Amino acid sequence: MTITKDTIIGDILDADRGTAPYFLDMGMHCLGCPASRGESVGEACAVHGVDAGALVAQLNGHFGN
């Protein structure tokens, strides 16, 4: 799976639950909420004041990209 800022968080979590800590570390503690699962990585980063590029890089590293 290749992650971009437009990738939906629920899709990432469904692909690998082991990605949850990346979101928890950025302060996104509502991963079970339907609204959160429907957000893109970019949207969530904007709300939480996190560098989307850095998170995308971490997630792609997790998936071996």
d(CA 24, CA 22): 6
Average pLDDT over residues 18-24: 95
- How far is it, in rounded angstroms, from Cα 35 to Cα 8? 11
- Give tens-digit pLDDT for 36-61: 889 999 999 999 999 999 999 999 99
Global pTM reads: 0.92
